[in-house]
Structure 1
């Protein structure tokens, strides 16, 4: 009798684990690198559509206040439909990025200089 109880408990535990994993999978976002939306009134997409040059040279400048250089779908149309945007935040020496959160979004930070 005890063996049946252990088997049914194990089956229940495996079922709960499987359901929890499947719910996590369903909640994930689609692959953002799978497709892009071509601009309206344009028959073909050229290389300039995938090129964004506004961030060239921003790291050669020193800053005395926090500056943000961004690339959203307004500035960089290939991001349309991707659900992503790019931003470079430059902080002056001795400053910090204040704690914050993004609902339904993530942030990737890359520190180039400093601590």
Structure 2
């Protein structure tokens, strides 16, 4: 194989790898998601409402003006504004969430498997942080005040704790129309069916009674749907 042929193959492989690393370009202005396939078209792998039938309400959501109910064990509530609430977000790759915190309320360690998050503090004081991947597992954290912004990279475990004596509010911007969320404690100790205690005792290096206790708890879900 000649050097020029080899170079061409390498360049071609690089081009394909770059092309497959991003979402496909939209084929129309918007693609309002619908469950009913009547009066719809198939675009970018999704059934979408005929654009001629789109209405302002397809792009509207008033839920973020309403404070979330923080009267739970965590003292926090997340109100999402993603494609489930705003059908017009379909294929656009962005979403929001409002997070309300009671005094000393916690948005517990969790991940977003499909999105990077930018958090903006609207009111209050938050201690926030994320943990880098193996093998370092380094905690990167900071105390935020009103108007401050902090980034949580995609897929990394992160949290927010209200360290003030008053309520706090933040807006999270996410780089996906459906970022997903995995709350670590809920997933590990509240899975259905439960993860084998033999797995968890070895993973956490604790007595089986500790695992049994943790699995018997009611794990609070602080997300509205």
Please report the TM-score for the alignment, with normalisation by the length of structure 1: 0.55
Aligned Cα root-mean-square deviation (Å) = 3.6
Query: What's the counterpart of residue 115 of structure 2?
Result: 105
Query: What's the counterpart of residue 65 of structure 2?
Result: 56
Alignment of 1:1-115 (within 5 A): 27-29=21-23, 35-38=29-32, 39=34, 41=39, 42=50, 43-58=52-67, 63-64=70-71, 65-113=75-123, 114-115=125-126
Residue correspondences, number? 96
Bigger radius of gyration among the two: 1
Q: 1:48 to 1:104 in 2, by over 3 A?
A: closer
Q: Deviations over 1:67-107 (max 9, x none)?
A: 12112222211111223332212121113444443334101
Q: Which has the higher helix share?
A: 1
Q: Which has the higher strand share?
A: 2
Distance 1:24 1:97 in 2: 36
Please report the TM-score for the alignment, with normalisation by the length of structure 2: 0.33
Distance 1:78 1:24 in 2: 28
Q: Which runs of 5+ in 2 are unaligned?
A: 1-13, 40-49, 127-225
Instruction: Write out the 4+ residue segments of structure 1 that deviate beyond 4 Å after TM superposition.
Output: 23-26, 28-32
